[in-house]
Amino acid sequence: MICITKKIEFEAAHRLSNYSGACSQIHGHTYKLEVTLCGPIDPETDMIMDFKNLKLILQNTVLSHFDHSLILKDNPENRMIFADYSGKVTWMETEPTAERMIEWIVREVSRILPQGLALTKLKLYETSGSYASWEK
Binding-site residues, in ranges, read 14, 27, 29
Annotated binding-site ranges for Zn(2+): 14, 27, 29
Q: Output 96-99 pairs: Cβ under 8 A, ≥24 positions apart.
A: 96/14, 96/15, 96/16, 96/71, 96/72, 97/16, 97/132, 98/124, 98/126, 98/130, 98/131, 98/132, 99/132
Residue 84, phi-psi category: left (phi > 0), alpha (psi -120 to 50), beta (remainder): alpha
**23 counts as catalytic:** yes
- Identified catalytic residue from 3, 9, 11, 68: 68
**68 counts as catalytic:** yes
Catalytic residues: 23, 68, 126
